[in-house]
Amino acid sequence: MTISSSEIRRNMTIILDDDVYQILDWQHRQAPKAPPTLTLKVRQVKTGNVYERKLQGNQKLTRAAVDTPSVQYLYPDGDMHNFMDTETFEQFAITEEVLGSALQYISEGDTIEIMMYEGVPISVEVAPSVTLEISKTEVGLKGDTQSGATKPATTTTGLVLQVPLFISTGDRIIVNSTSGEYTGRAD
């Protein structure tokens, strides 16, 4: 499906040079006595790299037909990770390369959204904040009441972050998946 520059929206996926890109921002300019230009800020879906692309303003763009099913994380198997579509119950594996840093924010049983192009997973969308369990941390020293004092902790997913002194092994915490920072204690 082709679209014109007036139909562009944020987070829309398009095909440029036989690759899938997600539009982050765009600007359409019509300078006097010059042809119109379209400047796109795009993220290459496969690599996550962000580029700025300049195109002719009247150029038609091809919209990528992507699916975003909700899937449940089942279990790891070497460098592959198995998921199940929550609607069709179909199971499939995704490589660590596609999952990238999202692996640090998902536990077995979690439901996430993936972006699929022509039946192939190309990226993963994790919730902005996730609940993780602490697998290892040092014991806070008794009497150490310095305001804002933190200590390193490792979650069951392998994420290492700074947590307050009162957090101990086995506690469940809320983590910002964008910054990787502790935001609170989970109930």
Mean pLDDT for the stretch of residues 27-53: 86
- 2-63, which class in CATH? mainly beta
Beta strand pairing status for 111-117 and 91-95?
Answer: unpaired
Which residues, at least 6 apart from 18, have a Cβ–Cβ distance to it below 8 Å?
none
Over 90: is that where the pLDDT of 126 sits?
no
Give the model's pLDDT for residue 141: 65
Give the model's pLDDT for residue 9: 83
Alpha-carbon gap, residue 83 to 111, rounded angstroms = 9
Alpha-carbon gap, residue 167 to 169, rounded angstroms = 7
* Confidence class for position 117, pLDDT limits 50, 70, 90: confident
Q: Which residue has the tokens 């983590």?
A: 175
2-63 matches 66-125 in fold: no
89: tokens are 């119950």
Over 90: is that where the pLDDT of 182 sits?
yes
Architecture of domain 129-185: Beta Barrel (2.40)
**Domain residue spans in the chain?**
2-63, 66-125, 129-185
pTM above 0.85? no
Provide the CATH topology of domain 66-125.
OB fold (Dihydrolipoamide Acetyltransferase, E2P) (2.40.50)
- Residues 44-56 pLDDT 10s: 887 778 899 998 8
